[in-house]
Structure 1
């Protein structure tokens, strides 16, 4: 993308206020992304208001070329900017080759539902364009030779929808009365659904309900603000709905949402430290001005840590200090509820997380069986009952809510082709295709999972176990589905001991040990990825040596929270970690060798039954299966 445009193109923009506003807001929308900042290869899907489709198409062409001719003729860049409108005939999946000759491709559309699935999957960026800001409106009017308008009036106009902006921004004179008479509406994009009308988020609902009651009492004057919960941190992997929750929470509470992110602060102005701090202060000021609002800060881990070292230490220290200053004594800032979101809580400065800022920490994980069906039904506007689609969604155990939303788009597209509302058949046809596993692989997987079961029950750390087996795996679309899985109900332990930690390692390694006992060798099924059996075992062993003083030397090396796949272990300690893993693997293998007959019997039954349940007090005897 071109960060600069030609002089001729700039002169053309001065003559066309609509193109200027579209170009300015498009740049602001894309500035956080690497395709803009680093000019890297990628497909970008930009969702725009239908009435401004042409303006944003021309703006995208100018952003790609920097040349005036793209504002005058679409032929100049038709290969790198494409437009999809509802009035157009649906495009086939091979409409555009994602691996074509272009370096970057922008698709301007009014809805992601119109974009072919292959292109949507290939997109690095799928984003709703941000509307023009008050600053954009002021600059555009100045370039067009129009009189200056008051800042508060421009701010109010920037909150209107694009139809109103198009009608009023070019007038020589404008008043608040003109805005009111125009029926100006705040730009909202898609309607926001209250949390009470959404599936999922079970762990957060009690907190929101309590907060809603507290806000009602505070507004009635019967409760002091210092007694109202005013901060929460949402922790979880990408795609689990953290940003979605913030908007739904604000709608449930009936208060405005001020949504921003650390990336947006960093992208403001020219990206210098002063611009970053100014943008941060502006977000807090906006939230305070609304008297009662939810201030949502996404990508909170991007704020950094003080004393992190490196060439960015000065920048990060100032950013963290400014954030601490703005959030210091949040209990005294009446009406502002601070909600943060992160994928990497360990990267956040500890002072940011202390009480007084983010009072509550909530982990948002993958949806369970009931939630998956309910979420998909919600994205299908409840045209299909959740109970009807359970058979389809129960096999999608590793999908995120974002994956389910994508599946809903695909099902709706399939229904449109047949000119009908979505049916169960449309959903089934939209599921990732599956590959049937060879019988030998299914048996090996069953042996692997039953190895976990037997060692877990022998450890006395679990009260009951459920093991499930699949005979096929997903080919594409979502993360590859596991062939088998084990769910444990752990015995509650307030203070785990060294014996407990060793047992956890043994349970994690038991699947690979079972394969070696029965098949004579182990596969890659329990390793090779973050979150795998071997990763879990290695992490616990590393924590024992580096964090808990359970190695040869009773010494503290690192916080247990810092020990993950990216952590570098001191070379002199690798031998101790390896010894723990080897010892517990041998222990698991010895136990399973003694129980080989039972291991093979359970594996054979699992191949037939697909699901089995166990309880520890029955000495690993099966008590029921379905």
Structure 2
């Protein structure tokens, strides 16, 4: 019995649909009474957010699914103005030729093209539903309703009422759900993110993306002022980088900077609407909404979810994916253009995206958002700490937060503020910040010394081979958190241009890469696994350099060159393998010779680094000079010099 009731409710029109039908019947009554008369009407809706409800009601009133001519053509058309407004006149005439009853919905009649105006018979307006409309609709549905309840329903957008007052649900219960909305008219407006968060000028850690955004912001402001044509404004960008690096925040900050609306979308949101047709409709609706709000930004998250038509072409789902991507291409690059609409996509996997989506006129630029560096992490933390005062030099925080994303740092700030509040203070101390960083196991004294020896080796060999100004040397005090790919040490030289590197230049880099391993062998009798491992490790970088010298740059025994630097594949070549190994061994031996000669400096620098964790380039130079001077003095005394 309960199932039968459910089926009956499912077949019953909703209250909102019945209200829309009442409004349409009122303005179309003469034609509904004489179905043999043909007409083409422009219907202007005061509540545009409910256009799909009115469209469904109109299809029912005109029996659109049951009206065909002898040739099988539909004779009823119910559509939105933007779907045909910009069509060429010949296409418009062809589309409307078999149509006897046409209803075209719009919200801004002044935007209707002259061609479309010529084919219309009349235009009418449908005002927002009144309390009387709700009362009449409830009566026709045999739905109990009180006069006061009808007035309350009329205060809300019809689209919102359609969600709360589903078939079979009592009006009182629907009103209880609606009562939680503080602003009944809020959803009458197109859904756009309200202005919140920072502007681009105050963002830290975005590098090239921030530079591009600031230039785009200037262009959009010039466009809004009529000083720049839209043809000179970038159409969009694809932001790619690790999760949590703030791609959504970037879009919000850009919108804030130029004071334009931001619409949020994703493949998952569109897919949640239902089957393929529903997904494509939801996709078009977002761009339709953007067209009304322009200039504006459409932000599409998880852009890789659309996939690529290049992959799995024999899959049973390939046609579905092709339709979705083609639909998105139509939205990104419509024949009429998309003036005033910037599209920003975000992805963690740029390789999974169909290349057609990244062509000029669509998402024509790709920008990487990397993990924030030390300075950026400090600025991000300060931003999230808000009005809280800080008492720290941030040194320990910089090392403890390596590998953190902006989202991770936001959580650190929340926790640090909470620790301060527990003390009844608005001052965040260094211990609050460090306590908020997820715990790591501290390095033992032996582990810390090994890392210090390793980094000291890099620094001394790099300075000896003149690889550029040394900026800093640092080691960690704790092991990385689980899942983090963070180095335990860092030796930073100011990079020089690699455009015209010679064989000697690359050999010096190769030697410096192996200097940490060499220092461990020299001081501790052998190296640890920390020298190898994943991408970016010393041994991997050294192997890549040696491989390119042999196979890509013509510095080996053969000038034959390969553009593909696939290390694993190329090292199956035994001749190449031996040549690469010879270069690696020669560079390792060179590093050992340099470090044996400067052993006193190596020992002194390793001890200082173990104690202080971080040293500037100037401090390193002073330690090396002092150790070298002391050794020279001892050698002089040992040889009898200096005695009277």
Decide whether the 8 Å contact of 2:512 with 2:591 is kept in 1.
Answer: no
Give, in angstroms, the shift of residue 383 of structure 1: 0.6
Decide whether the 8 Å contact of 1:146 with 1:172 is kept in 2.
Answer: no
Q: Unpaired runs of 5+ in structure 1?
A: 1-5, 15-140, 161-165
Cα distance change of structure 1 residues 622 and 587 upon mapping to structure 2, 3 Å threshold: farther
Decide whether the 8 Å contact of 2:195 with 2:256 is kept in 1.
Answer: no
Quote the residue 1:441 is aligned against.
447
Quote the residue 1:606 is aligned against.
605
Quote the residue 2:19 is aligned against.
none
Quote the residue 1:211 is aligned against.
216
Give, in angstroms, the shift of residue 498 of structure 1: 7.0
Give, in angstroms, the shift of residue 185 of structure 1: 11
Give, in angstroms, the shift of residue 256 of structure 1: 0.9
Cα distance change of structure 1 residues 183 and 471 upon mapping to structure 2, 3 Å threshold: closer
Decide whether the 8 Å contact of 2:511 with 2:588 is kept in 1.
Answer: no
Give, in angstroms, the shift of residue 405 of structure 1: 1.0
Quote the residue 1:113 is aligned against.
none
Please say if 1:429 is aligned against 2:428: no
Decide whether the 8 Å contact of 1:455 with 1:588 is kept in 2.
Answer: no
For residues 591 and 7 of structure 1, the distance between their equivalents in structure 2, rounded to whole angstroms, comes to 83
Question: Which SS does the other structure have where 2:298 is aligned?
Answer: strand
Decide whether the 8 Å contact of 1:467 with 1:486 is kept in 2.
Answer: yes
Give, in angstroms, the shift of residue 223 of structure 1: 1.5
Decide whether the 8 Å contact of 2:200 with 2:214 is kept in 1.
Answer: no
Give, in angstroms, the shift of residue 589 of structure 1: 1.2
| Partner residue of 2:457 out of 432, 444, 451 | 451
Quote the residue 1:363 is aligned against.
368
| Partner residue of 1:511 out of 501, 510, 516 | 516
Quote the residue 1:54 is aligned against.
none
Cα deviation, 1:411-469, whole Å, max 9, x if unaligned, reads 23323444443521432432344544333323322232233335545666x32223423
Quote the residue 1:287 is aligned against.
290
Decide whether the 8 Å contact of 1:505 with 1:581 is kept in 2.
Answer: no
Give, in angstroms, the shift of residue 481 of structure 1: 5.6
| Partner residue of 2:240 out of 224, 228, 235 | 235
TM-score (norm 2): 0.60
Which residues in structure 2 correspond to 1:192-207 (within 5 Å)? Answer: 192-207=197-212
Which residues in structure 2 correspond to 1:60-71 (within 5 Å)? Answer: none
Question: Which SS does the other structure have where 1:269 is aligned?
Answer: coil
| Partner residue of 1:300 out of 281, 300, 303 | 303
Give, in angstroms, the shift of residue 293 of structure 1: 1.0
Which residues in structure 2 correspond to 1:266-277 (within 5 Å)? Answer: 266-270=271-275, 274=277, 276-277=279-280
Cα deviation, 1:332-387, whole Å, max 9, x if unaligned, reads 41111121222233333333333333344332222233322221122122312486
Question: Aligned residues, how many?
Answer: 470
Cα distance change of structure 1 residues 327 and 338 upon mapping to structure 2, 3 Å threshold: same
Give, in angstroms, the shift of residue 571 of structure 1: 8.0
Cα distance change of structure 1 residues 371 and 596 upon mapping to structure 2, 3 Å threshold: closer
Which residues in structure 2 correspond to 1:54-65 (within 5 Å)? Answer: none
Cα distance change of structure 1 residues 345 and 426 upon mapping to structure 2, 3 Å threshold: same
Cα deviation, 1:550-583, whole Å, max 9, x if unaligned, reads 997957575x6xx6xxxx9548846466445523
Quote the residue 1:583 is aligned against.
582
Cα distance change of structure 1 residues 366 and 172 upon mapping to structure 2, 3 Å threshold: closer
Give, in angstroms, the shift of residue 286 of structure 1: 3.0
Question: Which SS does the other structure have where 1:296 is aligned?
Answer: strand
Task: Name the larger-Rg structure.
Answer: 2
Cα deviation, 1:102-128, whole Å, max 9, x if unaligned, reads xxxxxxxxxxxxxxxxxxxxxxxxxxx
Cα distance change of structure 1 residues 317 and 507 upon mapping to structure 2, 3 Å threshold: farther
TM-score (norm 1): 0.61
Question: Which SS does the other structure have where 1:423 is aligned?
Answer: strand
Cα distance change of structure 1 residues 225 and 421 upon mapping to structure 2, 3 Å threshold: same
Cα distance change of structure 1 residues 471 and 368 upon mapping to structure 2, 3 Å threshold: closer
Decide whether the 8 Å contact of 1:242 with 1:341 is kept in 2.
Answer: yes
Q: Larger deviation: 318-327 or 385-394?
A: 385-394
